[in-house]
Chain A
Amino acid sequence: LTLSEITGVKGEAGDFEIEILRHPRYVDTEKCIGCGICAEKCPKQVHDPFNENLGKRKAVYVEYAQAVPLKYAIDQENCIYFDKGKCRACEKFCPKDAINFEDKEESLILQVGAIILAPGSMVFDPTRYPTYKHAKHPNVVTSMEFERILSATGPYQGHLKRPSDQKEPKKIAWLQCVGSRDLHHCDNSYCSSVCCMYSIKEAIVAKEHAEADIDCAIFFMDMRTHGKDFETYFNNAREKNNIRFVRARVPTVESLEGSEDLLIPYVNEKEEIIEEPFDMVVLSVGLEMAPEVVDLAQKLGVDLTEGQFCKTESFRPVRTSREGIYVCGAFNGPKDIPQSVVEASAAAAETSVLLRQARNTLTREKEISEEKDVMGLEPRIGVFVCHCGINIAGIVRVTEVAEYAKTLPHVAYVQENLFSCSQDALETLKLRISEYGLNRVVVAACSPRTHEPLFQETLINSGLNKYLFEMTNIRNQDSWVHQNDPDAATLKAKDLVRMAVAKVALLEPLLETTIEVNPRALVVGGGISGMIAAKSLADQGYNVSIVERSSSLGGQALTLFKTWKGEDVQQNLANLVESVKSHIHIDLHLSAELRAVEGFVGNFKTTLTTHDKEEVVRHGVTVIATGAKEFKPDEYHYGKDPRVVTHTELDWKFIANDPSLQEIQTAVFIQCVGSREPDRPYCSRVCCTHSIESALHLKEMNPTMNVYILYRDIRTYGEREYLYRKARLAGILFIPFSKDQKPEVRVENDSLEIGVVDHLLERKILLKADLLVLASAIIPYKDEKLSQLYKIPMNREGFFVEAHAKLAPSEFATEGVFLCGMAHYPKPIDESIAQALAAASRAATILSQKHVRASGLVSEIDPEHCVGCQGCLDVCPFGAINFFEDRHVCQVNRALCKGCGACAAACPSSSVQLMGSTSEQIYAQIHKALSG
């Protein structure tokens, strides 16, 4: 339902009635094929909001080329017909009669069991900061505008240009925290979490897109690169990309008289006043909630935070204040893509628990056509060349490519499609397969990564084996990258089609293996993440076994006092442990050690020992939740003086209500102990918030206590920023230090002294403390054995590596194995729980099926030629090859093979072939590539 808004919600969890108001599109989505003729003919040009108004679009439009659904809409406010009563050009030219000026608003009622809120956020409008001149000066742009400038589909086709004169800027400045961490010019006192990283990215991309070497400077207060691998990205930006990082908030942007350049005044870290000219200024605008979303929250009766984000609790991170309504993404606090994706899966897990009774009640069985036998038949190839609207056809002369395809061997039929992926084009494809007796299909269009499954599905529906298909990418790898050279692009498209045809002729039908799924999950780790993942799966009705190395459940959470939102950790943890222990679907294996793992997705067999007793657990999926631990510092007098403790040791004192804390006159915290150091470059993410929380607690116990926090960058991201302000207002003093000039700790005459330089005052300070708290790093267990047992990769630091940092943050590339909690990266309780729910959600996609199918694109070893050298076995990253000593040959386990082809390349006797990419097929392609 697009162009729709919720006007009211009645009912309760499990049985909601939602009133929806659907606004008219004036285009019938059933008929529209997204050809774009309407927009081509529409005489009315308007600003294009998708390109941040830097470009133009028509009054009939699609928001952007990849929009889903790819259906046009009429912008009523700008349409000439709606304004003057005539025109209707779009209607006249539409080949499908899809335009409907009579379209009316309609009200709909939906019956649902659960609601997930994912309305996102909008960006801050910087015209509210008049001194930054965004409204007045064309070369002051927002980060969103700059994002469009850098984009290939943006107003300048990805060329780095500044708006005033379309010249390439030589010097660009980014100003951080515009509309964030500010409660004077706006009410956004939170940190928007994402701007530091996107600014670094924009600066790097700007340097890549620029023709000459350009100067990029980022003006910031605290650099917040607290995500996985973010600190390394920041270090590389500074050291390898030569991006300047200037710690200064800029008060104004001045126009430079007589030029289109800008002047920025600031105070550098040496307290010198500088005025520096720039060609262009990018305002790193923060995120804020749209008023419509705030209204919606009110209509739904969902509580909001001070920053107008959705209010959630740390132990229920995706549940709103109203039962049955869940939340994910930026509405649940400002956040980046990985965290949003985690929450999306987490919300899905929560609804799966709520609606478990209704599971599989609305499914429909799919009809499967019988597969035709094509073995021994002469190849009859159908070639379908896609226009992709104007995406391909605007550059490549598609008709010429289609005509050329007709001349190629075995080609029985050729067709051009406006959009090969549109529903009607797929129907036509099916029709042509039977009409022309096609037994091989080539689609020359976009990326197989996104669209191949769609066409393969059509092949299956037409009774063809889905592997008799080849897709070649004449968009991303051709028209998009050779925009300025249509001749060469057309020639390249012909080359690509010729290669695809040569390969497809040699393709053979492949078999997919069906694997039965054991509906049990094994969760490795009994900390908060492991328990939550187990409980979510068990609540969904699956059996779960938890394996924990220690003798009790709880993990690191046992050492924590409170969450950043102030909830009591021990109380919540005790409740969770109780519910896990008493769950009928969960069995526990404490003091257990993993011994061996066999099998693959659907059918794992894990052997473990508990108190020297061996046990075997058979399970369909595995969740890795092994956590991380606190680093024991090797500096700052730790271990030599009882007054020096780590932050979890201080939490222990809080939990025990240690009376000695009352006596303290002066407490000092030192941040980044063991984090952000050359041999451990990552940021431990939780320490800034944790120290501030503890400092505030000390202040509450004794308001006259002197509390100092020595830090490098304060990283209280998102709404954690309120805590930072609260701490300052409580009188806690924050003293920044640099990596090169760390605080010095010494004990003299039993006095614990911390020497630090206040750079802002250029003075040395000696703090005499009764308590020194070290915010020590969170370090991984670096569990090589676990990594090998389940074939899951680890990064240099020893954290496990997810399948995709953004799109698959809670699963491994190894099928059937999932990841959550601090084994992935240091994170606070709320984020660990969200990821545990996400891992459970992803795992349930397998557990909920009776069978899974393994791809046919696997390696095969010809036992006749195999000499048993085991070269393939050594290179296989998935442990999919076994050596049989009796026959002295290697064999591929089809369920484990991922089709990477490493074995085929390694085999000295060419007895390994990767199905779908055999040597013969690849050589055929290469010959055709060179024969053009």
Chain B
Amino acid sequence: MEELDLETADPNFKYELAKQPGGEKIMACFTCRTCTASCPITAVNERFNPLRIIRLALYGLKKEVLGSDFIWLCSSCYACQERCPQGVSITEIMTLLKNMAVKEGHAPPGIRAQLDLIKTHGRIYPLDDFDNKKRKKADLPPLPTSCAVMKDLFPED
């Protein structure tokens, strides 16, 4: 059985999460596993287990949680959050963890590529003249192929 290394854990991680909107009730979890039993992703891939993610976060295993590809599998269906008897906002916590993962450079390559696309084009699916030609044929107005406002939204880059 694998050992959980508390030496490298960050005991403040749970308090850090609890300070952020959506994360306030993370520590209320009493491990009833309603979330796991409700999760449509767990139903197809048992390795995705919302309770385990919460539990690892409570132990302070920040790197393992943020570096895990599982947080990215959450489909944000809210079934877990709706059913949690302790009012833990599990879906919100997944979003929170995803944001933290990106900040700490843990996003998987596909997500990073999408992020770059949004930053440069304002869209995940960029448009070019070819698309506008097709739109014209269908009597649709053209759409902008670049998005200048993204520079204001991400000023530091």
Which residues of A are in contact with B by a Cβ distance under 8 Å? 131, 177, 181-185, 221, 248-252, 265-267, 271-273, 704, 706, 714, 724-725, 728-731, 733-734, 736, 757-758, 760-768
Identity of the chain B residue whose Cβ is nearest the Cβ of A269 in the assembled complex = B33
Q: Complex formed: what's the CA distance from A767 to B29 in Å?
A: 21
In the complex with contacts A249-B32, A271-B46, A131-B83 CB distance below 8 A = yes
Q: Complex formed: what's the CA distance from A266 to B36 in Å?
A: 8
- Interface-centre pick from B6, B32, B52 (highest chain A CB count, 10 A): B32
In the complex with contacts A249-B32, A250-B37, A760-B51 CB distance below 8 A = yes
Asked if B31 is at the interface of the complex by the 8 Å CB criterion, the answer is: yes
Interface string of B1-34 (1 = CB under 8 A from A): 1111010000100110000000001011111111
What distance in Å separates the Cβ of B91 from its nearest Cβ neighbour in chain A? 14
Asked if B121 is at the interface of the complex by the 8 Å CB criterion, the answer is: no
What distance in Å separates the Cβ of B87 from its nearest Cβ neighbour in chain A? 5
> How would you classify the secondary structure of chain A's contact residues: helix, strand, loop or mixed?
mixed
Tell me whether B85 and A182 are in contact (CB under 8 A).
yes
Tell me whether A760 and B4 are in contact (CB under 8 A).
no
Interface string of B53-76 (1 = CB under 8 A from A): 001101100000000000000000
Cβ contacts under 8 Å, B52 to chain A? 271, 760-761
Tell me whether A183 and B85 are in contact (CB under 8 A).
yes
26 sample A-B contacts, Cβ–Cβ < 8 Å, listed by A number? A182-B85, A182-B86, A183-B86, A184-B83, A184-B85, A248-B32, A248-B33, A249-B33, A251-B38, A252-B83, A266-B33, A267-B33, A271-B46, A271-B52, A272-B46, A273-B36, A273-B42, A706-B11, A729-B27, A731-B14, A734-B31, A758-B4, A761-B55, A762-B1, A764-B3, A765-B4
Given A251-B83, A273-B37, A729-B25, 11 extra CB contacts under 8 A: A182-B86, A185-B85, A249-B85, A252-B83, A266-B33, A267-B37, A271-B49, A729-B28, A757-B1, A761-B4, A764-B4
In the complex with contacts A271-B49, A273-B43, A761-B4, A184-B84 CB distance below 8 A = yes
Identity of the chain B residue whose Cβ is nearest the Cβ of A220 in the assembled complex = B32
Q: Select which of A181, A248, A704, A758 is within 8 A of B85 by beta carbon.
A: A181
Tell me whether A736 and B3 are in contact (CB under 8 A).
no
Tell me whether A764 and B30 are in contact (CB under 8 A).
no
Cβ contacts under 8 Å, B33 to chain A? 248-249, 266-267, 760
Tell me whether B28 and A764 are in contact (CB under 8 A).
no
Q: Complex formed: what's the CA distance from A918 to B30 in Å?
A: 63
Q: Which 6 residue pairs spanning A and B have beta carbons closest together?
A: A249-B32, A182-B85, A763-B4, A251-B38, A267-B33, A184-B87
Cβ contacts under 8 Å, B49 to chain A? 271
Cβ contacts under 8 Å, A768 to chain B? 6
Q: Complex formed: what's the CA distance from A248 to B33 in Å?
A: 7
Q: Select which of A131, A221, A763 is within 8 A of B3 by beta carbon.
A: A763
Cβ contacts under 8 Å, A185 to chain B? 85
Cβ contacts under 8 Å, B30 to chain A? 181, 221, 714, 724-725, 728, 734
- Interface-centre pick from B3, B30, B49, B79 (highest chain A CB count, 10 A): B30
What distance in Å separates the Cβ of A409 from its nearest Cβ neighbour in chain B? 70
Q: Which of B92-122 contact A (CB under 8 A)?
A: none
Tell me whether B46 and A273 are in contact (CB under 8 A).
yes
Identity of the chain B residue whose Cβ is nearest the Cβ of A764 in the assembled complex = B3
Q: Complex formed: what's the CA distance from A760 to B55 in Å?
A: 8
- Interface-centre pick from B37, B38, B43, B87 (highest chain A CB count, 10 A): B37
What distance in Å separates the Cβ of A302 from its nearest Cβ neighbour in chain B? 29
Q: Select which of A714, A761, A767 is within 8 A of B6 by beta carbon.
A: A767
Q: Select which of A221, A761, A765 is within 8 A of B32 by beta carbon.
A: A221
- Interface-centre pick from B49, B52, B85 (highest chain A CB count, 10 A): B85
What distance in Å separates the Cβ of B2 from its nearest Cβ neighbour in chain A? 5
Tell me whether A271 and B3 are in contact (CB under 8 A).
no
Identity of the chain B residue whose Cβ is nearest the Cβ of A222 in the assembled complex = B30
Identity of the chain A residue whose Cβ is nearest the Cβ of B43 in the assembled complex = A273
Identity of the chain B residue whose Cβ is nearest the Cβ of A665 in the assembled complex = B11
Q: Complex formed: what's the CA distance from A731 to B23 in Å?
A: 13
Q: Complex formed: what's the CA distance from A766 to B3 in Å?
A: 8
Tell me whether B28 and A725 are in contact (CB under 8 A).
yes
Q: Complex formed: what's the CA distance from A733 to B14 in Å?
A: 11
Cβ contacts under 8 Å, B2 to chain A? 762-764
Q: Complex formed: what's the CA distance from A66 to B31 in Å?
A: 44
Q: Select which of B58, B79, B85, B86 is within 8 A of A733 by beta carbon.
A: B58
- Interface-centre pick from B28, B29, B33 (highest chain A CB count, 10 A): B33
Q: Complex formed: what's the CA distance from A132 to B93 in Å?
A: 26
Cβ contacts under 8 Å, A728 to chain B? 27-30
Q: Complex formed: what's the CA distance from A765 to B34 in Å?
A: 24
Q: Complex formed: what's the CA distance from A348 to B147 in Å?
A: 80
Identity of the chain A residue whose Cβ is nearest the Cβ of B42 in the assembled complex = A273
Cβ contacts under 8 Å, A734 to chain B? 30-31
Cβ contacts under 8 Å, A273 to chain B? 36-37, 42-43, 46
Q: Complex formed: what's the CA distance from A378 to B70 in Å?
A: 94
What distance in Å separates the Cβ of A130 from its nearest Cβ neighbour in chain B? 10
Identity of the chain B residue whose Cβ is nearest the Cβ of A272 in the assembled complex = B46
Cβ contacts under 8 Å, B6 to chain A? 765-768
Cβ contacts under 8 Å, B51 to chain A? 267, 760
Q: Complex formed: what's the CA distance from A326 to B32 in Å?
A: 38
Interface string of B115-146 (1 = CB under 8 A from A): 00000000000000000000000000000000
